[in-house]
Every structure is written in C-alpha cells, then in structure tokens.
Amino acid sequence: MAKPKKKKNQTFTRRDFLKGFGGGAIGAAVTPSLLAQDKSALQTQEGKIPLFTKKQIALTVNEKKFTLIVESGETLLHVLRERLNLTGTKKTCGRGECGGCTVLLNGKPVYSCMYLAVRADNKNITTIEGLAADGKLHPVQQAFIDKDAYQCGFCTPGFIVSSVALLNTNPNPSQEDIKKALSGNLCRCGSYVKIYDAVSAASKSTRRP
C-alpha cells in the first residue's frame, strides 16, 4: 500500500472538498474534472470500517448549483445546514413530526430531516434563505412581519416555507385549507392565530386581480 495515498485518504474530507470551491454557499457548477479528483474520497481508509457509501449528487439550492459527494444515509437537512451553511432551516424533532425543517423540493414542501440527500439529486430546492429576491421579502415573509406571526422564531422558517407552498398551489385558500396545510408544522409558542392572519393576508396580496 502506497503510504502517500493513504495519507491523502485520511485528510480528504467532505469539508476539504467543499473548501476547494471556496467554502460556504458556492454557486458555481463543478466541472467533471474536479470531481474526478475526489474518487479517493469514495474509498475508505485501510483498517477503518466503511461506515457509509458515498454518492455524487447535483442539486440547485436557491437558484445556485452545487455538486457534492454525499453519504447514503445523509439527510437533505444535514447537507443544507452542515455543508452549505444554510442554517435557516431548523432541526427540531429530527423525524418528520414538526415541520421545522420544511423546504421546497421542486416546489413541493418536504421535511428535509426525513429526505435523503441522494434522492435530492437533480432537484431544485428552495430554503427560507431563498425566498426574498433582490432584498425584497416574499409576500409571505412580509405578512409574517406585518401580522406579528412569530414569537421565538425557531419554527418560523418552516411555517413560511409551508405557507409559500400552499399559496403556490392554492392562491386563495379557505380557513380549512390553511389549517390543513399548516397542521404538519408545530409552533410551541402558540402563534397559530397570527400565522393564520398572515397567510390570509399574504393570499390577498399575492392574488391576481
């Protein structure tokens, strides 16, 4: 076994891999030649157990393209928070009970804590950080401010993303529609009254004449 190669294996990490592209949220698409260099990262170190199998995926997050190597059991939430540093999406229950980690995947709301990153390959993802455009808040975000629809703010990103998903498919929801669409999101502070007001207001502001 060639020692230098082994050493490289030991030091090459996912973080290093990302760092190669400037770290943090990198927008540029990765060229195949760069990826080819990472084959070593797919191998496990001698004497160490292969805990995960790895796979390369490409995904678009908030209109920026990323290509990265993910592990088979890695969740989309983990990729967003720990690798792309998009910490607006929250981990609350860790198993799809509370909606705090909701993101849009090809326009549909998903619990990112339950969604494997490998399944997000070639998908288009929008997180809370991607809703405002050119510094202007999305109408739902503005409505949450106008209607005081948050308290501690921890569940707020999930609620806003779920609300955006609702209004994208149903621009004029009834009271029952709103209750139903947002019942997968939990707010412990008990802000549902004001969240309801905000979503109602946003539905009016986004309604086409």
Partner 1 sequence: MKDDEYIPFNEEKGTESIKLDRREFLKLLGGGIIISFSVGDLFALQQRRRGSGYPEDFNAYLRIGEDGRISCFTGKIEMGQGIITSLAQMLAEELDVSLNKVDMVMGDTALCPWDAGTFGSRSTKYFGPPLRQAAAEARAVMIQLAAEHLRTSQENLTAKDGMILMRKNPEIKVSYAQLAKGKKIERHLEKKPQIKHYSKHTISGKPADRSDGRQKVTGEAKFAGDIRLPGMLFARILRPPAHGAKLKNVDTSAAERIKDIQIIRDNDMIAVLHRHRDVADKALGLIKAQFEPSTSKLDNTTIFNHLKDTASDGSAVTEAGNLDAGKGLASKTFEKAYFNHYVAHAPSENHTAVVKIEGDKATVWASTQAPFRAQGEIARVLGFPSQNVRVITPFVGCGFGGKNQGPQIVEAARLAKLSGKPVQVAWSRKEEFFYDTFRPAAVIEIKSGLSSSNQIVFWDYHNYFAGSRSSQPFYNIPHHRVLSYGGWGGRGGGGSVHPFGVGAWRGPGSNTNVFAIESHIDVMAEAAGMDPLEFRLHNLTDDRMKRVLRAAAKKFGHSFSKAPSGKGYGIACTDYLGTYLATMAEVNVDKRTGEIRVDRVVCAQDTGEVINPEGVRMQIEGCITMGLGYCLTEEIRFKDGRILDENFDTYEIPRFSWLPKIETVLVDNPEMPPQGCGEPAITSMGAVIANAVYDAIGVRLFVLPMTPARLKEALKKEQNVAGDKNRSIPLPTIS
- What residue ranges bind partner 1 (CB under 8 A)? 10, 13-15, 44-45, 47-49, 51-52, 71, 73-75, 78, 82, 85-95, 97-98, 100, 127-129, 131-132, 137, 141-142, 144-145, 148, 150-157, 160, 178-180, 182-183, 185-196
Q: What is the DSSP letter of 67?
A: E
Would you state the structure tokens that stand for residue 100, as one six-digit string? 């705090």
Phi-psi region of 161 (alpha: psi -120 to 50; beta: other; left: phi over 0): alpha
Rounding to the nearest 10 degrees, give the CA dihedral for residues 78, 80, 83, 88.
-110
Angle, in degrees to the nearest 10, between helices 192-206 and 156-169: 40
Whose Cβ is closer to partner 1: residue 29's or residue 169's? 169
29 vs 43 by CB, closer to partner 1: 43
Nearer to partner 1, 60 or 144 (CB): 144
Supply the minimum distance, in Å, between the C-beta of residue 78 and partner 1. 5
Among 72, 12, 15, CA closest to 45 = 12
* Residue 195 beta carbon to partner 1: minimum distance, rounded to whole angstroms: 8
Q: Which two tokens stand for residue 153?
A: 């703010």
- Residue whose C-alpha is closest to residue 27's, from 18, 35, 36, 16: 18
Residue with Cβ nearer partner 1 (48 or 208): 48
- Minimum distance from CB of 141 to partner 1 (Å)? 4
**Which residue lies nearer to partner 1 by CB, 8 or 29?**
8
The least distance separating partner 1 from the CB of residue 131, rounded to whole angstroms, comes to 8
DSSP secondary structure code for residue 172 in this structure: S
Residue 105: CB minimum distance to partner 1, A: 17
Min dist CB 67 to partner 1, Å, is: 19
Q: Which residue has the tokens 């539905």?
A: 203
Q: 78 or 123, CB closer to partner 1?
A: 78
Rounded to an integer, what distance in angstroms lies between the CA atom of residue 62 and that of residue 47?
40
